[in-house]
Structure 1
Amino acid sequence: MRLFSVLLGLAVVVVSLPASAQDPLVESARKEGRFMWYTSMNIPDSQPLLDAFTKKYPFIKAQVWRGSSEKVLNKIQTETRAGKFLFDVVAVNAFEAGFIKANHLAQRYTPPSAKEYLKGFVDPDAYWVDIYDNYYVLGYNTKLVRKAEAPQSWEDLLDAKWKGKFAMDPEDHAWYLALQEAWGKDKAERYGRALAGQGIQWRKGHTLIAQLLTAGEFPLGLVYAHRMEELKQKGAPVDWVTTTDPIPVEVHPILIAAKAENVNTAKLFVEFITSREGQALIKEFGRIPAHPELPLGWSVNPKQLKLHGVGVISPERASQVIRDWRHVFSPMGF
């Protein structure tokens, strides 16, 4: 009887412990106590995610290094060529993620939440999971362009009245790939050359383009839909066109370093950011979460848009798209 009472008491103690204390992954992360995240996500978005993670797991010290996807990849290449894996987790655009995977710079890991994601948002080879998406859309300043006069298609940008009045990023490769896939390579090239002849205003960074669009530096720009929605809610004089076909959607995968020093903490962070809890935070920051069960709350239903997904592709395919892009746009000012 006494033995039964002792065992019962132990069972009560175990049951009363928080779930995290019984999780082997959490305990392994506790022993590591830190990790490094390389990301192209803006600091105003990435830092609060880390803060929420470390609030949940206060024994972890998290660091973030932020740069464009291209700069993040260059940093990883420089470090790994020197035999150093200084990052534990990396989140970049699809093109760069494809290079990281193909060059064996990431390891396989599938978080529990991955089973809730749609096909195309989880790597079938288990190297990455999508954390948020970027919709490439045509934005406009409502003080400079009335809604009825705004271009309704990509082809409408070729009208002479928009010459010199449209801005885009010099690395919008995913947008161009979507046109190639949706229209065919020849039509996309003809269109690209015609658009380049319109005197494109080249600006680096979609956040910058959105800010300059709001300020009225130019009336039109290739921007992210979530940024336009965020600015609209703050009262900015901007809107975006919902009728372009296609609307390219680029995934933003997260991967764990092949030789992550803090691999258990890295796995725990990937579990957090892909969970409904982490995805709800991403939505709260105004981005488009990859989790399919989180409604966006926009004035337009994404299901009504002509979306075209651009996923992780091989480095060879990515290099070809970049060459195609430069072949079309470089002679015309970029």
Structure 2
Amino acid sequence: MNAIRMLLAVLPFSLILVLATFEISGGASLEEVVRGLERLGREQRFQQQIEGAKREKKLVVYTSTQAAETQERVNAFKKKYPFITEVDSYRSSQHRILTRLTTESRAKRYLADVVDMNGSTIHLVKKEGLLGRYPSMEGDLLPKGFKDPDSYWAAENIRPYVLEYSSRLVPRQGVPRKLVDLLNDAWKGKLALDEREYVWFANILNVLGERKGLDFMKRLARQGINLRGGHSLLSQLVAAGEFPINIVQYAHIAQRSIRAGAPVDWVGLDPVITDFHSIALMANAPHPYTATLYIDFALSEEGQRLLARRGFIPARVGVGSDPPRLTTDLKLVPMDLKLLDDLQRYTQLFEETFSKKSRGSRK
């Protein structure tokens, strides 16, 4: 033991980190790897991640993000860390990724290092016990409600739900400014909504109080809501003038339509329920050092600015959105993931509330 202490006393710090990396990665569990990183300060942690990633050289990401956005971040990551020679990404829908992760876990076939998908799905992945805890130091700059209190996931971009309207059919001064404005007779038959807007529905009931919220939703249904499938489709329909108003739209999708020259605009109706896209470490990540390095990069100022340039809304405090109105003056209320544990009940309430009988005939 004395000989070891003497050796450590004279070894360069960088070599000590290399030895520590070999010790942790040599058959250690992911929890042990993460605990080892947690014990270190920022610079020491970073150096240990680098040494570990140099040995691993590989990363596997499962993502629901569009291919172009994923590839841009992967390219930037590999440029920053050229010793990571192979980054594989599997891109698919939320449901297919969840199914694949569950199937691989049951077969004890662990391929994914990192997963990024929307907040509601990441919550389900966590409940299945498929995520590993990783308290990224970069996550310290995320607002409350946009990171897991147990450090299993962190939001990389936020997605406020706003009201999207046709700027040709609705004059600016006539746009609804409050939820209750949607109940005016002038909007009968002119409002559209995603036919599976269960999460927004549950969160509005939660914020308003279930009794008051359900009363509002029933009155809203009597406006003759036009139900359609998908936020992107609804944005196209509003731009085409089929419906003057889409009640719930992601702010970044509405803003992209504006940039493309579509005759649409949007406003935030308080409370602005805010969804988010999250990133997380897998519980059995084969390349833990590279994985944690990638998560840190995604949440860093550099990684967040990449998102902003692609039209997303960064979750990190201090990295502005483009344009600023995507977050400025909006009363953002983070989606409450606990409500998802009762999603079946909220889904049933939504279906009952917005049934054809409740809302009138569908257009």
TM score, norm. by length of structure 1: 0.83
* 2:279 corresponding residue in structure 1: 254
Residues 100 and 106 of structure 1 are in contact (CA less than 8 Å); yes or no, is this contact kept in structure 2?
Answer: yes
2:176 to 141, 151, 156: 151
Q: Deviations over 1:254-304 (max 9, x none)?
A: 111111222222211101100110011111111111101112243637352
1:272 is the counterpart of 2:297: yes
RMSD of Structure 2 on Structure 1 (CA): 2.9
Q: Mind listing any 5+ residue stretches in structure 2 that lack a counterpart?
A: 1-11, 16-42
Q: Is the 8 A contact 2:154 2:278 kept in 1?
A: yes
Whether 2:140 is the aligned partner of 1:118: answer no
Partner of 2:159: 134
Instruction: Name the residue aligned to 1:51.
Output: 75
Instruction: Determine whether 1:218 maps to 2:243.
Output: yes
Question: What's the counterpart of residue 31 of structure 1?
Answer: 55
CA distance in 2, matches of 1:75, 1:163: 43
With a CA cutoff of 8 Å and minimum separation of 6, indicate the structure with the bigger relative contact order. 1
Which residue is 1:209 aligned to? 234
Give aligned pairs, total.
318
With over 3 angstroms needed to count, the CA separation of the structure-2 counterparts of 1:314 and 1:199, relative to structure 1, is closer
Alpha-carbon distance in 2 for matches of 1:316, 1:234: 38
Alpha-carbon distance in structure 2 between the residues aligned to 1:77 and 1:330: 33
Q: Retained in 2: the 8 A contact 1:178–1:246?
A: no
Match of 1:41 among 55, 65, 69: 65
Please point out which of 167, 173, 176 is paired with 2:201. Answer: 176
Select the residue among 72, 86, 99 that pairs with 1:61: 86
Supply the AA of the counterpart residue of 1:274. Answer: L
The whole-number CA distance in structure 1 between the counterparts of 2:233 and 2:103 is 27
Q: Which whole-Å CA distance do the structure 2 matches of 1:33 and 1:110 have between them?
A: 22
* SS, match of residue 337 in structure 2: coil
Q: Work out the CA distance in 1 between the residues paired with 2:354 and 2:171.
A: 29
Which one of the candidate residues 105, 129, 133 is aligned to 1:108? 133
Is 2:189–2:224's contact at 8 Å kept on the other side of the alignment?
yes
Matched ranges for 1:73-88 at <5 A: 73-88=98-113
Counterpart position of 1:321: 346
Distance 1:84 1:199, change over 3 A: farther
Shift of 1:139: 0.4
- Give structure 1 stretches of 5+ with no counterpart: 1-10
Cα separation, 2, equivalents of 1:192 and 1:122: 29
Q: Which amino acid counterpart does residue 97 of structure 2 have in structure 1? A: V
- Contact 1:178–1:308 under 8 Å retained in 2: no
Cα 1:60–1:191 shift into 2, 3 Å:
farther
CA contact (8 A) 2:156 2:298 kept: yes
Distance 1:258 1:276, change over 3 A: same
Alpha carbons of 1:45 and 1:169: their partners in 2 closer, same or farther (altered >3 Å)?
Answer: farther
Residue 238 of structure 2 contacts residue 245 of structure 2 at CA under 8 Å; is this kept in 1? yes
Task: Give 1:94 shift.
Answer: 2.1
Which whole-Å CA distance do the structure 2 matches of 1:236 and 1:126 have between them? Answer: 40
Q: CA, structure 1 residues 229+108, in 2 after alignment: closer, same or farther (shift >3 Å)?
A: same
Higher mean alpha-carbon deviation, 55-64 vs 132-141, is at 55-64
Match of 2:28 in 1: none
CA distance in 2, matches of 1:208, 1:65: 25
2:166 is matched by which residue type in structure 1?
N
The one-letter code matched in structure 1 to 2:49 is L
Q: 1:43 to 1:146 in 2, by over 3 A?
A: farther
Secondary structure at the counterpart of residue 126 of structure 1: coil
2:266 to 236, 240, 243: 240
Q: Shift in Å at residue 249 of structure 1?
A: 0.9
Tell me the amino acid that sits aligned with residue 111 of structure 1: S
Matched, 1:165 2:190: yes
AA aligned opposite 1:232: I
- Please give the TM-score of this superposition, normalised by the length of structure 2: 0.77
Runs of 4+ in 1 over 6 A off after TM superposition: none
